[in-house]
């Protein structure tokens, strides 16, 4: 059974923990406690293959931004969460992705862009198109989720697993088959 290390990133109060907990336990946490760092483990079946997700729920508050490098180093797949009722959180996403690329030194890191709190449609500040455009720019999937109403939460984590699978294959193919074999 393959293990997937997923890191959930995003600025403060966007619902990283809510998403994660919703996925892991199926409940929505009402409390508003900032996370320092939480770790979850869950087995799921994605595309008929069982997989173990190790989810690192990170601190969004900037005080802990210095820890991000650590998270990123340890992570394989990244869920970048912003709150679609907070434009600033959307703005904060880009540097995080840049940081991932920088730390990983690799362009095609499995990433998913997630707009959370889609249940608060009336307070929306970031349109779907903005999110989608950014995701297209990065060539990554884009989702709008709601931890509260459990919208697209399971799909999200299934998708990140697929992304990691997808990233892993060409990863092996490219350097090994084309480069190594031919040479």
Helix (H, G, I), strand (E, B) or coil at 118: coil
Q: Which of 2, 27, 37, 149 lies at the binding interface for other proteins (CB under 8 A)?
A: 37
Q: Which of 29, 44, 52, 70 lies at the binding interface for other proteins (CB under 8 A)?
A: 70
Q: Which of 4, 7, 11, 20 lies at the binding interface for other proteins (CB under 8 A)?
A: 11
Q: What torsion, rounded to 10 degrees, do the Cα atoms 145, 43, 38, 7 define?
A: -60
Q: Which of 29, 64, 119, 150 lies at the binding interface for other proteins (CB under 8 A)?
A: 64
Please name every residue paired with 77 in a beta bridge, in sequence order, or none if there are none.
6
Part of the chain binding other proteins (CB under 8 A), chosen from 8-16, 97-105, 126-134, 147-155? 8-16
Q: Which of 1, 33, 105, 180 lies at the binding interface for other proteins (CB under 8 A)?
A: 33
Q: Which of 25, 27, 74, 88 lies at the binding interface for other proteins (CB under 8 A)?
A: 88
Compute how many other C-beta atoms are within 10 angstroms of the C-beta atom of residue 133. 12
Q: What share of the chain is helix, strand, coil (3-state, %, to 5)?
A: 45, 25, 30
Q: What torsion, rounded to 10 degrees, do the Cα atoms 119, 124, 126, 127 define?
A: 80
Residue 17 found at the interface with other proteins (CB under 8 A): no
Q: Which two tokens stand for residue 136?
A: 């297209």
Part of the chain binding other proteins (CB under 8 A), chosen from 31-39, 41-49, 113-121, 143-151? 31-39
Whole-angstrom Cα distance, residue 91 to residue 126? 10
Task: Give the binding site for other proteins (CB under 8 A).
Answer: 11-13, 32-37, 59-64, 66-67, 69-70, 86, 88-89, 91-92
């Amino acid at each position: 059974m393959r293990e997937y290390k997923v890191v959930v990133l995003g600025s403060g109060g966007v619902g990283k923990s809510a998403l994660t907990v919703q996925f892991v336990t199926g409940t929505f946490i009402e409390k508003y406690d900032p996370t320092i760092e939480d770790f979850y483990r869950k087995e799921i079946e994605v595309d008929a293959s069982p997989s173990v997700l190790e989810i690192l729920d990170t601190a969004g508050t900037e005080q802990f931004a210095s820890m991000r490098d650590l998270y990123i180093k340890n992570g394989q797949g990244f869920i970048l969460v912003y709150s679609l009722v907070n434009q600033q959180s959307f703005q904060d996403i880009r540097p995080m992705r840049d940081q991932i690329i920088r730390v990983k030194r690799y362009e095609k890191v499995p990433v998913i862009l997630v707009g959370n709190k889609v249940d608060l449609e009336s307070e929306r500040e970031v349109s779907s198109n903005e999110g989608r455009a950014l995701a297209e720019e990065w060539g990554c999937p884009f989702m709008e989720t709601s931890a509260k109403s459990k919208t697209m939460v399971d799909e999200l984590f299934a998708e990140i697993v697929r992304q990691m699978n997808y990233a892993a294959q060409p990863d092996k193919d490219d350097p090994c088959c084309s480069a190594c074999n031919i040479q």
